[in-house]
Structure 1
């Protein structure tokens, strides 16, 4: 009995977990990765769990969870707007528990033209049988685009070819004629927002034909 008391008296004191470096708020855009990190003190073993808006998060899929040397990590590999919310890290052992939280905001990628349309000037005599190509770049690449001429919608046809490749958007006008002169507009839509850019196609007639 005496020896047991001595052993108990010489045992190291145990401490409840306490977060000494807490989570920081983050604001990111859709598609970014998010890394959350916090550090705790306390006696091992410490159980660490994560939750979002009071719902448990498990490692796997879009979430990666780890805890190394009392530093807890939660990584969201590819953020979506649904990942916006309040995140909690919980730590507990036989002596007590602690938690810390932060707000994460995920915003849509701003809709913008990285490269806008440029005017095209062609000589009718030189352009017969050839094509004119309007090019622009839009972000994000998931934006839905459409084309217009002089304010009217264009439909894809043997005359007008639409090409969408990543952020690149192209309008091919086949067999350019004088009648193709006009203003061409690319309209981009994403997440309820809409932008556009416009350029002119000028097909100059052969001066000799006016004599």
Structure 2
């Protein structure tokens, strides 16, 4: 056997037959012999690193949002998606995560207003951890949660004030505009228009019969617009009545 080793000058053919955690198993066959040698050779472990990261994005309610990142590092990689420091469920439902080679994707097929927030992709392996962050901004168009027609009737007499208000949901910033019989109302001594904590107010001072008519509140933001209307009736010394008509 010693002659075989000497004459062949330790020539051999190597074949990598398996890869273990941190080790490579090498099978060595000596030429012109039936002898095999096996070695376990340590290999360097590489911590995860993000080759590409998802960009911040703005999406409208009901649309699709996709966050993708490409990760390199020694396998196996453990990838977890979080929103506002809470791990997202792995069972496909509202949030759907997937992996193709080293590309990891989080998809929201139909975005809701509550999906706005900070998203984190956290990845780890035996050599270390890494994470990246991205912001998702969801724009929700205005919606009248409490329109004019659902208000309690405002009582007053001719010469007093009337208060119209409605509650609006939706993404800020939002603009509010009031109309009387399709004519835009400007803030002045008689009309006071305010918008505070998603409630739109219109105060009409010194009521007279000319203030009777249709009043419309229009809310608008980047996602769209909505409106609600009601009728104000001023009847001499009798109460002011607000009623819905659309």
Asked whether the two chains share a fold, i.e. TM above 0.5, the reply is yes
- Post-superposition Cα deviations, 1:141-189, rounded to whole Å, max 9, x if no partner, equal 4211111011111111111110111311100000111221111000111
Structure scoring higher RCO (CA < 8 A, sep ≥ 6) equals 1
The whole-number CA distance in structure 1 between the counterparts of 2:209 and 2:189 is 17
- Post-superposition Cα deviations, 1:111-156, rounded to whole Å, max 9, x if no partner, equal 2122211367567xx4233211111122234211111011111111
> Where does residue 28 of structure 2 map in the other structure?
none
The whole-number CA distance in structure 2 between the counterparts of 1:113 and 1:122 is 19
Aligned residues: 144
In the alignment, is the contact (CA less than 8 A) between 1:24 and 1:36 conserved in 2?
Answer: no
Q: 1:131 to 1:74 in 2, by over 3 A?
A: farther
The whole-number CA distance in structure 2 between the counterparts of 1:182 and 1:115 is 20
In the alignment, is the contact (CA less than 8 A) between 2:208 and 2:236 conserved in 1?
Answer: no
> Where does residue 199 of structure 1 map in the other structure?
230
When the two chains are superposed, the root-mean-square deviation of aligned CA atoms in Å is 3.1
Q: Map of 1:77-88 to 2, 5 A cutoff?
A: 79-80=136-137
Question: Which structure's CA Rg is the greater one?
Answer: 2
TM-score in terms of structure 1 length = 0.56
Structure 1: gaps (5+ residues): 1-8, 47-69, 81-106
> Where does residue 128 of structure 1 map in the other structure?
158
The whole-number CA distance in structure 1 between the counterparts of 2:154 and 2:78 is 69
**Residue 25 of structure 1 is aligned with which of 107, 110, 117?**
107
- Post-superposition Cα deviations, 1:51-100, rounded to whole Å, max 9, x if no partner, equal xxxxxxxxxxxxxxxxxxx3x43344x644xxxxxxxxxxxxxxxxxxxx
Q: 1:121 to 1:39 in 2, by over 3 A?
A: closer
Kindly indicate which of the two structures has a greater share of residues assigned to helix.
1
The whole-number CA distance in structure 1 between the counterparts of 2:125 and 2:211 is 72
Q: Map of 1:36-115 to 2, 5 A cutoff?
A: 36-42=120-126, 44=127, 70=129, 72-76=130-134, 79-80=136-137, 107-115=138-146
Structure 2: gaps (5+ residues): 1-38, 47-73, 80-103, 239-246
The whole-number CA distance in structure 1 between the counterparts of 2:78 and 2:206 is 70
Q: 1:192 to 1:35 in 2, by over 3 A?
A: closer
Deviation at 1:38, TM superposition (A): 3.5
